[in-house]
Amino acid sequence: MPQITQTQLVSAALAHGGAAPMTTAEIVGEEIARFLASPKRREMERARAYYANRSAVQDKPDNLPGRSNARIEHPIYRKLVDQKVRYLLARPWSVQCANPDYAGHLNALFDRPFRRMLQTLGRWCVGCGVAWMQPYIDGEGQLRFLPVPPWQLIPLWADGERTRLDGFIRFYDQEVYRGKAPGRITRAEFWSGEGVERFLCADGSGRFVPEGERAPHFTLDGRGYNFRKIPLVWLRYNPEELPLLRFVGDLIDDYNWQTSVTADALRDVAKFVFVLRNYGGADLGEFMEDLRRSLAVKVDGDGGVDKLQADLDVTGALAFLDKQRRDLFEFASAVDVRDPDLGTASGTALHFRYMDLDADCADLADELRDAFARLKPFADTWLAARGAGDFAGEEFTLCFNTDMPVNEGEVIQNLNASRELLSRRTLLANHPWVEDVDKELELLEAEGK
């Protein structure tokens, strides 16, 4: 049975001109409302909260007035997400291309701000399951790339496999002032192959009204143009677009909860518990006041005061927390730097400890290469429009320099042993001291080497 895509549903609602049951503005409002209420959006918001160190332990009930109710957070999710992104993208990556002119243009395009932006995309990708980047031409005619938060974008896929886009809806809130009173409005954009339509919701009702006429994707020298493809590039953490939190969220909740409950027990336990017999006072408050002031209490008849000392053993709780922490890093395919044996591991043992993290980031690197392949037509079109040349038939790839602790001397020794087997560019791209391969090649050429 053929699948019906979201784009087909939107197109059906707009078919036959005036006979359409819904206007484009109404469809945009309906799509946004459905997305905001969807499990996918809720999971993204939950992942954002955990990345900001706010987990389910904040919902821990306070049922005993006067007793401790700790809600201890651990920034575990932030640490897991950042570790993957830093491992893959923290160190400079290079563009590999047989055409040096094309490589030079691409390196100029993928400048330092772009590389910092790519790290943001990586965090959104791992943290929320998917990330989006929108190519656009700015007012100065330069090709730029806008990172679009995944919780603000609704893709309209042209196929059930989610490999081709027919359009997308982007929406975002904006703070405004009405007179002297602050307020909030919601803007929406509907991007398709025919251009972009903009809409506004000014009263929070979810009903959008058009803002102007349909506009082209970009304007150059006073003339409007549309890209041949929908100007949007996606980056998925996995084929299902599931965030890392799906796999470790329960463990994080339990770790925070058990830590908080243990802290409550330690805070609330008294050094001594008093057992009263035939106390001659009015109530326990008076007993504590007499004890504090005069270090004595009055009793009747054969009354007395006995003392019990509390004995609290948290060894079992600490052992359980240690197991939970190990499980967290294992199921997140991450490396726990608190592992006491990590500092002394070397060679094969170190590679084994990083194996899961390296494999997970290798998958992310492949997805990044696919994302750059989807970005390539926009870069080629822009370069051709500027007269830089026609590079549509050229290919390029990315070489990532992962941040695994390595023995640099051993790496350099292996590279020297491969001098007869590999090109100079490949050797330099894998050298731990080289940040810019093209610059290093220029320096070597200038030195006559």
Kindly report the backbone phi and psi dihedral angles of residue 198, in degrees, each rounded to the nearest multiple of 5, phi listed first. -115, 145
List, run by run, the mean pLDDT of 10-residue segments along the chain (449 residues).
Answer: 56 55 91 97 98 96 84 96 95 90 94 95 98 94 95 95 95 91 94 96 93 92 90 96 97 96 81 65 70 69 67 82 94 86 61 88 96 95 91 93 73 88 88 84 84
Distance separating alpha carbons of residues 111 and 428, to the nearest angstrom? 20
pLDDT (0 to 100) of residue 344 = 56
Extract the runs of DSSP E, i.e. beta strands, from 64-152: 94-97, 130-137, 143-148
Q: Which residue has the tokens 């390595």?
A: 406
Closest CA to 73 of 224, 201, 260: 260
The contacts found for 175-181 with CB under 8 angstroms, 24 or more apart, are none
**What are the sequence ranges of the domains in the chain?**
10-243+357-446, 270-311
Quote the pTM value. 0.81
From the list 389, 11, 372, 378, the residue with the least C-alpha distance to 229 is 378
Burial 364-385 (b: 16+ CB within 10 A, else e): bbebbeebbebbbebbbbbbee
Contact status, residue 44 vs residue 150, Cβ threshold 8 Å = yes
Eight-state DSSP code of residue 449 = -
Burial class (CB in 10 A: 0-12, 13-18, 19+), 283: exposed
DSSP code at position 387 = T
Nearest to 124 by CA among 153, 146, 149, 155: 149
Long-range contacts of 356-360 (CB under 8 A, 24+ apart): 356/330, 357/83, 357/84, 357/87, 357/333, 358/87, 358/402, 358/404, 359/333, 360/84, 360/333
What is residue 1's predicted lDDT score, i.e. its pLDDT? Answer: 45
Question: How many Cα atoms within 13 Å fall on the side-chain side of residue 83?
Answer: 20
